[in-house]
Amino acid sequence: MEREEYRNMALIDLLPFRAPGSARAIGTEQISPKRQMSSGDGVKYDTVERGSLYSLDYRVFIRGPNGIISPWHDIPLYADASKKIYNMIVEIPRWTNAKMEMSTKEPMTPIKQDVKKGLPRFVHNIFPHKGYIWNYGALPQTWEDPNHVVPETNAIGDNDPIDVVDIGSKVQKRGAVIQVKVLGVVALIDEGETDWKLISIDVTDPLADQMNNIGDVEKHFPGLLKVIFHAIL
């Protein structure tokens, strides 16, 4: 991520994960499918693209069995509530530079490229890495309430879905719905607003069974937490 974006951001702490207090549940055109993936409940999803990649009109829609859906509203938060396995919507694949995000104000909340000064936005490389060092996305059916002061940060929510990164080895596809185990959370304050960054791992990753908390990240990925802090601050 670009350092200037976080110039006014403070790292609060690296915490064991629990559902953040600011999270709130929230309750077309013919386009051709590009790929399929499934959520923990077995529902199959297609991603469909419209517009040219890296342009202002580029959109990635998610389609379920009955047509285009809103990934934010229609995909369940939990893939397996009993095991605390979450669905993650991948917005930005690992090692890519285009900053993509769900457009929460557009119908069906498609994924689009963020815009800065009227141009599609890209993040800089942080040597020796290229682009985002993890798969980056959001948890469906979550929302950081701008009217709620988070006790851990003493700041309001940022009016967006909760961000989550997947530190697993696989490079995920944009728009993929994957199942993740949350290991910890970084609490940030960005211009007076709380911005949670959940650290997770894809449950299909070879190391997933050995990863249960934030301490396991340092054990199995020595130095990764320092790189994460370097990337987001």
pLDDT given for residue 191 in this prediction: 87
User: What torsion do the CA atoms of 75, 76, 80, 85 make, to the nearest 10 degrees?
Assistant: 80
pLDDT above 60 (res 14)? no
The answer to whether 92 and 98 are in contact (CB under 8 A) is yes
pLDDT averaged over every residue in the chain: 84
Query: Hey, what domains does the chain have and what are their CATH numbers?
Result: 3-232 (3.90.80.10)
What is the C-alpha to C-alpha distance for residues 128 and 222, in angstroms, rounded to an integer?
16
pLDDT above 50 (res 32)? no
User: What torsion do the CA atoms of 171, 230, 200, 206 make, to the nearest 10 degrees?
Assistant: 50
β-bridge partners, 101: 112
> pLDDT for 43-70, tens place per residue?
889 999 999 999 999 999 999 999 999 9
pLDDT given for residue 188 in this prediction: 85
Per-residue pLDDT, averaged over 200-215, amounts to 96
pLDDT given for residue 37 in this prediction: 57
> pLDDT for 107-165, tens place per residue?
999 999 999 999 999 999 988 889 999 999 999 999 999 999 999 899 999 999 999 99
**Confidence band (pLDDT; 50, 70, 90) for 224?**
confident
Q: What percent of the chain has pLDDT over 70?
A: 80
Reduced to 3 states (helix: H, G, I; strand: E, B; else coil), residue 4 is helix
